[in-house]
Amino acid sequence: MSRTSKVRHNGHKVQINQSDRNDLIGAPPVVQALVGALGDHTVLWRPYDMRLYSYDGSIDRARPDAVILPSCTDDVVVAMRICAEHGVPVTPRGAGTGLSGGSIPVEGGVLIGTARLNKILHVDPENRRAVVQPGVVNSHLSEAVKQYGLYYVPDPSSQRACTIGGNVAENAGGPHTLLHGVTTNHVLGLELVLMGGEVVRLGGEALDSPGYDLVGLVIGSEGTFGVVTEIIVRLVPISEAVRTMLGIFETVDQASNAVSAIIGEGIVPAALEMMDNLPIQAVEDAYHAGYPRDAGAVLLIEIEGTEADLEAPARAIVTLCEGAGAREVRLAKDARERTLLWAGRKGAFGALGRITPDYYTMDGVIPRSTVPEVLRRIAEVGRAFNLTICNVFHAGDGNLHPLILFDAEHEGIIERVKQAGDEILAICASVGGSLSGEHGIGMEKNNVMGLIFSDADMDLMKTVRGAFDPKNLCNPGKVFPTPGRCLEPSGHIRAGAGW
C-alpha cells in the first residue's frame, strides 16, 4: 500500500500518493510546486497529456510543460501565484476551438484549462443577467435560459463546443451579431485573476459603470492580462417572429451587390451570410440543407421582430435581391427548413473536410462595398500560390472567412499556406479593413500587425498590457510581433512537423 502525505490548500486537505511523489522526481520545479499545492488530480504534466493540449483550431502547435484544470477561482489564484514565483508563463485555454492560436502555449510554461469551471452560477431573468464561469459552453447558456424567453446573442459557428471564456478572450461574434453586437456588447462584468494571484472585479450587473471601460479592454485581450474566472452576461428576449430567406445568385458579385443594397436601404438583418460554390456543394453533401449545388453564391438572410414588423422588410429584401440579379429568393416555410439552412451554414467549415484533408480559416474585415474586388484579389492569391480558396463569411459586416484548402502531408505546404494568408490580410488592410473580426490576432497574425498599426500604436498597447502583466508572463507570443518562433527540443512544434 502506498504511503500518502497531506498538504493544506484553501482549507482542504490535498492527498498526494508517495508513488505520485516519486513520479515527480525530475519534473520541473514549477510542476512539483503545483502538484504539491493543488494535487495530482488538478495538474497534468506527463508527455502524452501535453500532446493533447498542444493544438487548437489553428495551424500552429506548441506543447505546454504542465496543464492545470482548476475547479474554482482559488485554484487559479494558487496556480498564478506559483507560476509568477517561478517566472513561468501562463496560457489560458477554453475549449480549444480558437482559430488564431490564442490558446497555443508558444513559449511552453503552464496552460490553465477552464473545462471544470463550467457552472452557470446565477440567472436573473427579471434584469436579464446571468453570471457564468468561463468554461460554460456557449449554446448551453441559451438552452438554460430559454425557459425565461431569453437567450445569449453571440453565436460563433462552434457554439456547441466553444466556451464563453474563450469568446471573451477573442471577442467572438457569429452570424447573429450583425444586429445585436458581438461579445463585448453582451458582457457587463468580469472577475480576473492577475499574474501573481490578485483577483480583481471589473464592471458589474449595472448597464454602465463610471470610469474607464476596463471590461471592454479585457474582452478581446486574448488572455494577455490574466485569467477570467467569472463573467456577467447580458441576456436578450427571444424574438416573437423570425423570417429566414435564401437568396440564390449566379455570381459572387451579384450576391455582394445585394448585400450593399439591403444595408443601403436601411435594413439591418439579424444575420446576412454569404457562401460561394465549393462550400455550397460540401454543405449539401453533409446536410442536404436545400442549398442549390449549381449556385455561384448564396445569401442566408434572417430578420427578426414582431409578426407585424417583418412583412415589409421581408418583401423589400426579396425585391432588392432580385434587383441585384438573384435567380430566386426562398423563404423557409417552417422551423425545420430554417434549422437545416442554419445547420448547413454553421457546419460549413467542417463539411469541407469531405473534400480536403486540411483547411486554414482566415479572418479579416473589409468595407462591404469592397467585397467583390477583395474576393477577386483573394482568388488571384489562390492562383499565385497554387491553392484552392473558397469563402464562407458574415457578409453583412464585411467579416471575411477565406478558407485555404491543402494537404499538410505535402512538404513545405504549411509555409506556403501561411504566406498566402498574409497576402490576404494585406489585401484587407489595403482597402481600409482590419486583421480580425472575431478570431483574434493570436500567433497567426501578430507578425503582420504592422499592416494597420504603427510602432507607436503598438508601444501604447504594450504599455496598457504592462499595467496588468508587467513581466509579460500572461500568454506571451500573442498579439504583438515576435522576433521568431524557434523550434525547441522540449517539444514546441508545429503542424506538419511530425508532432
The number of helix segments (H) and strand segments (E) in the chain equals 16, 22
pTM given for the model: 0.91
The string over 78-89, giving b where at least 16 C-beta atoms fall within 10 Å of a residue's C-beta and e elsewhere, is bbbbbbbebebb
Residue ranges in the chain whose pLDDT is less than 70: 1-22, 484-499
HSE-up of residue 391 (Cα within 13 Å, Cβ side): 30
The distance of Cα 438 from the centroid of its chain, to the nearest Å, equals 6
Number of domains in the chain: 3
Q: Could you tell me if 82 and 29 are in contact, meaning their C-beta atoms sit under 8 angstroms apart?
A: no
Residue 32: CB atoms within 10 Å: 17
Q: In terms of domains, do 336 and 276 share one?
A: yes
Q: Report pLDDT for 494.
A: 33
Q: Report pLDDT for 210.
A: 85
Q: Retrieve residue 154's grid coordinates.
A: 453571440
What are the pLDDT digits (tens) for 271-282?
999 999 999 999
Q: Report pLDDT for 492.
A: 31
Residue that finishes a domain, picked among 237, 254, 280: 237
Q: In terms of domains, do 133 and 233 share one?
A: yes
For residue 249, give the CATH number of its domain: 3.30.70.2190
Q: Report pLDDT for 483.
A: 72
Q: Report pLDDT for 78.
A: 98
Residue 462 domain flag: no
The string over 175-207, giving b where at least 16 C-beta atoms fall within 10 Å of a residue's C-beta and e elsewhere, is bbbbbbebbbebbbbbbbbbbbbebeebbeeee
Q: In terms of domains, do 248 and 318 share one?
A: yes
In degrees to the nearest 10, what's the CA dihedral of 438, 186, 241, 303?
-30
Give the gyration radius of the chain's Cα atoms: 24
Residue 308: CB atoms within 10 Å: 9
Exposed / middle / buried, residue 403 (Cβ in 10 Å: 0-12, 13-18, 19+): buried
Residue that finishes a domain, picked among 172, 202, 237: 237
What are the pLDDT digits (tens) for 326-350?
999 999 999 999 999 999 999 999 9
Q: Report pLDDT for 393.
A: 97
Q: Report pLDDT for 158.
A: 95
Q: In terms of domains, do 155 and 263 share one?
A: no
Residue 467: CB atoms within 10 Å: 9
Q: Could you tell me if 168 and 219 are in contact, meaning their C-beta atoms sit under 8 angstroms apart?
A: yes
Enumerate the H helices of 39-115 as residue ranges.
47-52, 73-86
Residue that finishes a domain, picked among 440, 459, 493: 440
Domain encompassing residue 158: 120-237
Q: In terms of domains, do 161 and 247 share one?
A: no
HSE-up of residue 147 (Cα within 13 Å, Cβ side): 5
Q: Report pLDDT for 489.
A: 31
* Cα three-residue angle 469-473-474, rounded to 5 degrees: 70
Q: Report pLDDT for 22.
A: 55
Q: In terms of domains, do 175 and 263 share one?
A: no
Q: Report pLDDT for 486.
A: 38
Q: In terms of domains, do 228 and 258 share one?
A: no
